Structure 1
Amino acid sequence: MAIHNREAFLDKLAGRLGRPRRTEVAPPSYSVRPQERVFQGATQDELVEKLEAQCEVIHTSFERVTLSELEDTLRRVLNGYGVSKIVSAGGPRIETSGLVDFYDQLRKEDYEVQIWDEEKGRQNVEFAEQAGAGIVFSDITLAESGTVTLFNDRYNGRSISLLPETFIAIIPKSTMVPRMTQAGRLIHEEEEKGNPVSSCVSFVTGPSNSADIEMNLIVGVHGPVKATYIVVDDL
């Protein structure tokens, strides 16, 4: 996207503020960084344990499996929710996880399964609106808050985690970090390496909920009403 009249706009803004135009901003240097101490030194397994405990707080079911157990676990979760219409993120990870063949098998059993495909355009969203479950892969997982980070791109539309009644996140153990501090750093580092992260990054913490009215927590207000996290140790 082209940016027009940026310099003139910023010059005018600086003039209205009565100060010289700034061209560089140095980040602040903090002498105390308490955010770095949360779960500092925790192993990946310890972070998974923290995530499991947090799932109880955010009303999210938790499973921990090996890659060979993933398909049976997914089937059990889907059957538990009574789901027969599924929208899933695509991309290389559904191949490395073996889900391509699994989805083909589900189709033979009269499940409706659609993998997000940018060439289908609006049809992806329309299918997601009717789907009983959306399945995604977490790109970065925050143990402290129980949050999965999704880099929304041509393989992984936002609608997958927003529109279906249930939300299923497959979490490679390797994606575990303590909290938002480390997630932001990882994203920044990838950008510095010249590996652009998606312009849309979603942070999803369990099913939708709100406590706006009299501070009473209501789960399932404006999105999925149920959620399951499946941590895969060797993915």
Structure 2
Amino acid sequence: MKQGTIHNKDRFLNKVADRLNRKRITEEVQLPTWSKQPQYEVFDGLSQDELLDQFVLQCDAIHTNVIVTEADKLNDDFDKVIQDMGGGSIVHWDDPRFESFGLDSALKKQQEQGTDVHCWNYQLGEANIKKAEQANIGITFSDMTLTESGTVVLFSDKGKGRSVSLLPQRYVAIIPKSTLVPRMTQAAEKIHEIAKEQGRMPSCINFISGPSNSADIELRLVVGVHGPVQATYIVVDDK
């Protein structure tokens, strides 16, 4: 992605400082050192297996089914999840991980069985969104996974449209076990690292914790008001 050109930056910032009746600050901001940082203590020291155990417990609280599987059993478990969700049309990311995890063959099998399977293609523009609106199941990979809240973190990109996880009736997230981190603290650190390394942020970052929930009216919980009514996470050991 090309970097934009900033015009009149110094003049603009000097004018803002002048209006604030102070000298413009040009030195680098120094981050404070906090004496207490409890955000780093949550699940501190847990192994990936222990994080997974906690993750599964949290997912039960957010009405999300979790399948834990091995790489050689992923296709069979994936097929079963699709069947349990009623099959129908599928929309999924254009993500190389579908091939590296062998799920491209599972999607091809669905097509051969007559299922309408659409891979997100940014060149099709709005047509992708219409496919997502009509799909029964949307499928993505998780880029990071938060144990504490049962949250999958999705980085949007050309082939990774955000509509895939938001518009279909049901949602499946494929979670490589290695993506599990304790909580939002570690996710924020990783996002900052990405920004420094790549010089930009993903176009959109979605944090999804199971199916949509709302308790705005009389504190009565309703699932699926503004998004998928059902969510399943498939955690695959990617050692």
Q: Please give the range of the TM-score, normalised by the shorter of the 2 chains.
A: over 0.9
The answer to whether residue 5 in structure 2 is matched with residue 19 in structure 1 is no
| Alignment map for 1:52-71 (pairs within 5 Å) | 52-71=56-75
Shift of 1:191: 2.8
Pick closer, same or farther for the CA change 1:214–1:18 going to 2, 3 Å.
Answer: farther
3-state SS, counterpart of residue 210 of structure 2? coil
Tell me the alpha carbon deviations over residues 180-221 of structure 1, each in whole angstroms, 9 at most, x when there is no partner: 000111122233334754131111111111222333322111
Aligned residue number for residue 217 of structure 1:
221
User: Mean Cα displacement is larger for which, 34-43 or 81-90?
Assistant: 81-90
Q: Alignment length, in residue pairs?
A: 235
Which of 170, 176, 185 is equivalent to 1:172?
Answer: 176
Shift of 1:104: 1.2
Shift of 1:4: 4.2
Aligned residue number for residue 150 of structure 2:
146
Shift of 1:163: 0.3
Pick closer, same or farther for the CA change 1:16–1:214 going to 2, 3 Å.
Answer: farther
- Return the alpha-carbon distance in structure 1 between the equivalents of residues 20 and 221 of structure 2: 43
| Identity over aligned pairs, percent | 49
Shift of 1:74: 1.5
Aligned residue number for residue 36 of structure 1:
40
Which of 72, 77, 82 is equivalent to 2:76?
Answer: 72
The answer to whether residue 189 in structure 2 is matched with residue 192 in structure 1 is no
Q: One-letter code of the match for 2:146?
A: L
Aligned residue number for residue 102 of structure 2:
98
Pick closer, same or farther for the CA change 1:153–1:72 going to 2, 3 Å.
Answer: same
3-state SS, counterpart of residue 35 of structure 2? coil
Tell me the alpha carbon deviations over residues 140-169 of structure 1, each in whole angstroms, 9 at most, x when there is no partner: 000000110111001210000110011110
Q: One-letter code of the match for 2:211?
A: P
- Return the alpha-carbon distance in structure 2 between the equivalents of residues 159 and 2 of structure 1: 30
TM-score (norm 2): 0.92
The answer to whether residue 166 in structure 2 is matched with residue 162 in structure 1 is yes
User: Mean Cα displacement is larger for which, 202-211 or 188-197?
Assistant: 188-197
Q: Which consecutive residues of structure 1, in runs of 5 or more, have no partner in the other structure?
A: none
TM-score (norm 1): 0.94
The answer to whether residue 141 in structure 2 is matched with residue 137 in structure 1 is yes
- Return the alpha-carbon distance in structure 1 between the equivalents of residues 91 and 113 of structure 2: 16
- Return the alpha-carbon distance in structure 2 between the equivalents of residues 210 and 3 of structure 1: 42
The answer to whether residue 32 in structure 2 is matched with residue 46 in structure 1 is no
Shift of 1:5: 4.2
Aligned residue number for residue 208 of structure 1:
212
RMSD of the alignment, in Å? 1.6
Shift of 1:79: 1.3
3-state SS, counterpart of residue 187 of structure 1? helix
Q: One-letter code of the match for 1:107?
A: Q
